[in-house]
Structure 1
Amino acid sequence: MSPLVIANIVLTVVVVLYAVGLFIYLLKTRYKFVQLGKKVEFDESVQERIRYLMVNVFGQNKLLKDPKSGLIHVMFFYGFLMVQLGAIDLIWKGLVPGSHLPLGMFYGVFTFFQELVVLMILVAVVWAFYRRYVEKLVRLKRGWKNGLVLIFIGGLMLSTLLANGMGLIWHGEGLTYTEPVASSIAAIFSFLPTSAAATVFYIAWWAHLLILLTFLIYVPQSKHFHLIVSPINVYMNRLDRTGTLTPIDFEALEEAGENAESEDDIPSIGVGRIQDFTQKQMLDLYSCVECGRCTNMCPATGTGKMLSPMDLIVKLRDHLTFTGAVVTKQKPWVPYQFFANTKGNQLAMAAGAEGAVIEDIYSPSLIGDVITEEEIWACTTCRNCEDQCPVMNEHVDKIIDLRRYLTMTEGKVNSDAQRAMTNIERQGNPWGLNRKEKENWRDLDPTINIPTVKELKKSGEEMEYLLWVGSMGAFDNRSQKIALAFCRLMNEAGVKFAILGNKEKNSGDTPRRLGNEFLFQELATANIDEFEKNDVKKIVTIDPHAYNIFKNEYQDFGWKGEVYHHTELLNQLIEENRLVLNYEVEETIVFHDSCYLGRYNDVYDAPREILRGIPGVKLVEMERNRETAMCCGAGGGLMWMEEHVGNRINVARTEQALATNASVISSGCPYCLTMLEDGTKAKEVEDTISTFDVAELLERSVFGEKVKTVADNVDELTEEMLEEVVASVDSQEQDKNEELNAEK
């Protein structure tokens, strides 16, 4: 073995060990940063988690929701896995000249497919560059950092082809069909002497090795850390009850506070410091690839609000890195000589100085300095961001944890939101209406049998379903019509149901999403007591928010029963021929998916099957439908808060519905219907576009043109009274003017 070959081997070993050492150091620092978070229980459902990992990491399930970008990533992902064997082969060729991987007769097949993959990756690099810098997708960041990895990958592929081509000339192997690209390069440069070819080979070889090792060191220090972290994050992702919020154990918090040795040891309610997040939530931060899919689908971002889900994650990640550098005294950026002046490294140096006080070095307020209150309160909790995220990050739970801190620790709540929560606490509804009038809505149509649980028991009949009416169904004039239509249909189908009446409290969804976990738990406990007292086994509701919270979140407090959305039950009754669709409804209908019915609970088909089954109905879809449906703007407690920034979300969603040229906008949620109806008024199309719940449209098909209820008459009476009042005021004004003229 020649001295040059030996020197090359020694130098290679030194460089590789140095790079691997830096890589291991970076992994350790990030691990220590994540360890600053609270420990979290982990359900070890190994088989299910492996299946989930295979589907979403190796199957690239989420990424392929956007076919263009998804295909690019699939090419990068599988191509990069496959060319690693090629990288080993190339390094082997440089360390042991004249040889290659001992693959025997399969080596030719290997080199042929390797070149195909390399070409595929080069095409993907060009495509990705075009999408980012020429097409300029809004969701993708630009700048040299974001193009650096494309340069790395392109450099690796080109250096591979060049080195292999020069290797053919150097060793006089001649052209071969198993390496068509390398052979073409060798043919073009066939005039080079073998010594020159050897020199060019090693230039390309070292370029390849240095790019590869630089990339290795760069990955943990960039958004590309997701290459390592995201498979772990996907594996540890929750497998059921998507979007469920973690309960706060107030008794444990109180006990921890009593046993705290210092003020810093007293646990906070919610998240007021980065260390208050769980380790899994911190893993989310380092998993983010900054692809912008979340922000691209966010209704708040799309209507000009302060919130960007991607920016939220990135800002929290950077804050965690800086906090980790101070607390652990570990420099986050290497090689240190090149990054001595970076903020993270300077913080670590300052924290390591004798007598250093951490609070004096780095102590920005998480809420205020890092994340603004405007961002926190802009979220509708629609989970469109989470549905789009390819690495399974959860944005909403972090925002709710921040709201919990603002609401329960700081007492900083929007005045409209606080009023709604106070009214819920006192009267069980956001308007503060008399709780003793909660069952009065059923008097609007005496022809419909709507018994209370107490009345049903007295009659000696057994209740199959408890109908949870909710505040909207009980008190809101428009939503009362939905409740009445649903009850009339259940009467027709012979369903034995009852309501709690004045005993029905609030489900607790609004206070929980606004951050008032304490009030939610009070309501949940009281509701569960009422359910158990009345032996409730099945609940049906017209409210997707109540549906979600009963089905997925009351389990954490001891209640487990069957929960149905009214469209699920109605569809079942139709399938059982207990409801017959006799009449045509000549309408073109577009259906809006409620976030808490769709993305939270995967109920997409039931309402559509009902609408498709109605004779005369033509069902059309908005461009954003089902999983990608845009929020109406009412979720997360925002129903009770005014929008003061940007455009109104409900108007934006209404515009999407109007683009379908439908005559009816339908929904399965009273909140959504209210927001969409307001949207038609804002667009001044309420006289030409109707808004109906699925139950109301089904009622028309079962019973024909619906007989006017007392509720309809009340609306007309109100309009007549209003006209009389206006006429009276005008008359009084006219009399005053005549008197003034007479005096003059």
Structure 2
Amino acid sequence: MREIITKPFTGMEDEALICGRCGYCRSACPVYNVVGWESATPRGKIAKAKEIFSQGKQTELSAEFVQRMAQCTLCGACAQECSTGIDTRKMWLELRKRIAALGREPKAYKALRDNLQEKKNISNFSNDERLEWAQDLDDPAVLKPRAGAAVGYFVGCVSSFFPQAAQVPLAIAEIFSKAGVDFTSLGGEEWCCGFPLISTGFVDEARQFIRHNVDKIRQLGIHTLVASCPSCYSVWKEDSREALQGYDLEILHTTEYLVRLIKEGRLSLQEIPETVTYHDPCDLGRTSGIYDAPREIIRSIPGVRFVELPHHREQALCCGGGGTLQSVDAALAAKIARLRAGEIRSVGATVVVSACQQCEQMLTAAVREAKMPVRVLDVSQLVLEAMD
């Protein structure tokens, strides 16, 4: 592993000039590892961006370059390898923002934006149906928005509207109830966190969503917020700072909060005789720096034999589901997921655990396609199994 150089992002033009074209980023890029074209590499995209934007050639913005910018999971692996310390993830976000400002974004991005503005979520369902999944709880009313609760659970769009992912909030709600946590949600007043808009270049539109969610948290008097989606967590932690200014809000990912409950002795975990491995979500790991909490949870369960994947923590492979890649190139996203499935097979795990609903969906599809006898679970589901 190379020494990671960190420095502030100083703007696209300045950062593009820093690139030394060393090529260390190539082998780390999941898209390049599948596509194999230089134009898909981080250094290839930076070189083209420098030519277009630093030299004022925006009129020469080609459809191929727009496609290459969309063929990125925003995993941040290239930034880990950059010998000059370019924050490439911020670079890609800035480039997508400029492409959108020129009206050249992919049609899928525009459709996503329009749907979000209408529905306030990434699905085709009414936002009033955000708590439909809670009907499977013994007491669905526990999620009804309530002022003064100790914890506000931010569910996220994927968990709220996609049946497979709904198992995650169901597990979290059951765990919280069994642990005696005083919690609530925003219900139908929860809007998308805004990350799909940020990741596609519509930053100004995302601010509307961020302000709305912050206002609702303030109105309920919530001072601890727990998010199970790493992208939601990142938006609350980083992109919501301005909107939260002057308001005291502790922001935790569910893995951090579950570790707290375990250390406080509020969760009684029984033996699970399984060989478990863990997939680091890019937005939780490289973006937010949370690596230890999920592993602490897994290791706290009696009977579990924990094994690491060949690439883990900072060097973890992407699942293929990040950066809104599926909306523009679902086949490429699936091919990236297959690479990770191969690593899962190599360690002989019976269960692969992650802490991101999108990762879990991608890995489930890849594992099924490969006909592997492996269960894919969220860390919260594993904890609930150990409690039952």
* Aligned pairs (5 A) from 1:574-653: 574-581=262-269, 583-644=270-331, 648-653=335-340
In the aligned structure 2, how far is the partner of 1:553 from the partner of 1:659? Answer: 38
Cα offset, 1:429, TM superposition: 1.8
Cα offset, 1:532, TM superposition: 1.8
In the aligned structure 1, how far is the partner of 2:196 from the partner of 2:172? Answer: 23
Q: Secondary structure at the match of 2:167?
A: helix
Q: Secondary structure at the match of 2:40?
A: coil
Q: 1:449 to 1:491 in 2, by over 3 A?
A: farther
* Aligned pairs (5 A) from 1:247-286: 280-286=11-17
Cα offset, 1:646, TM superposition: 8.9
Aligned residue among 26, 32, 45 for 1:312: 45
In the aligned structure 2, how far is the partner of 1:317 from the partner of 1:436? Answer: 45
Cα offset, 1:448, TM superposition: 6.6
Q: Secondary structure at the match of 1:466?
A: strand
Structure 1 unmatched ranges of 5 or more: 1-61, 66-233, 244-278, 324-361, 704-744
1:403 to 2:96 alignment: yes
1:164 match: none
Q: 1:654 to 1:598 in 2, by over 3 A?
A: same
1:484 to 2:170 alignment: yes
Q: 1:647 to 1:669 in 2, by over 3 A?
A: closer
In the aligned structure 1, how far is the partner of 2:53 from the partner of 2:205? Answer: 31
* Aligned pairs (5 A) from 1:152-551: 237-238=7-8, 280-304=11-35, 306-317=39-50, 323=55, 363=57, 365=59, 367-368=61-62, 372-415=65-108, 417-447=109-139, 450-454=142-146, 457=147, 462-551=148-237
1:177 match: none
Cα offset, 1:469, TM superposition: 0.6
Aligned 8 A contact 2:67 2:106 in 1: no
Identity %: 25
1:683 match: 370
Aligned 8 A contact 1:406 1:413 in 2: no
Cα offset, 1:317, TM superposition: 4.4
Q: Secondary structure at the match of 1:410?
A: coil
Aligned 8 A contact 2:106 2:328 in 1: no
Superposed CA offset, 1:335-394 (max 9, x none)? xxxxxxxxxxxxxxxxxxxxxxxxxxx95745218x711211011111111122122112
Aligned residue among 63, 74, 80 for 2:2: 63
In the aligned structure 1, how far is the partner of 2:196 from the partner of 2:307? Answer: 31
The code of the aligned residue for 2:323 comes to: G
Larger Rg: 1 or 2? Answer: 1
Q: Secondary structure at the match of 1:523?
A: helix
Aligned 8 A contact 1:584 1:614 in 2: yes
Structure 2 unmatched ranges of 5 or more: none
Aligned 8 A contact 1:419 1:430 in 2: no
In the aligned structure 2, how far is the partner of 1:490 from the partner of 1:64? Answer: 40
* Aligned pairs (5 A) from 1:65-214: none
Cα offset, 1:592, TM superposition: 0.3
Cα offset, 1:409, TM superposition: 3.0
Cα offset, 1:659, TM superposition: 1.6
Q: Secondary structure at the match of 2:314?
A: helix
In the aligned structure 1, how far is the partner of 2:328 from the partner of 2:104? Answer: 17
Q: 1:639 to 1:469 in 2, by over 3 A?
A: farther
Cα offset, 1:318, TM superposition: 5.6
Which structure's relative contact order is higher, taking Cα pairs within 8 Å and 6+ residues apart? 2
Cα offset, 1:478, TM superposition: 1.4
Q: 1:452 to 1:639 in 2, by over 3 A?
A: farther
In the aligned structure 2, how far is the partner of 1:616 from the partner of 1:414? Answer: 49
* The 10-residue stretch of structure 1 (638-647 or 541-550) with the greater mean CA deviation from structure 2: 638-647
Instruction: Report the TM-score when normalising by structure 1.
Output: 0.49
In the aligned structure 2, how far is the partner of 1:645 from the partner of 1:615? Answer: 38
Q: Secondary structure at the match of 2:143?
A: coil
Q: How many residues align?
A: 384
The code of the aligned residue for 1:438 comes to: R
The code of the aligned residue for 1:493 comes to: A
Cα offset, 1:402, TM superposition: 2.4
In the aligned structure 2, how far is the partner of 1:463 from the partner of 1:577? Answer: 21
Cα offset, 1:424, TM superposition: 1.7
* Aligned pairs (5 A) from 1:722-737: none
In the aligned structure 2, how far is the partner of 1:423 from the partner of 1:376? Answer: 22
1:567 match: 255
Q: 1:283 to 1:587 in 2, by over 3 A?
A: same
Aligned 8 A contact 2:273 2:303 in 1: yes
Superposed CA offset, 1:547-571 (max 9, x none)? 0000111013344521111111001
Q: 1:315 to 1:405 in 2, by over 3 A?
A: closer
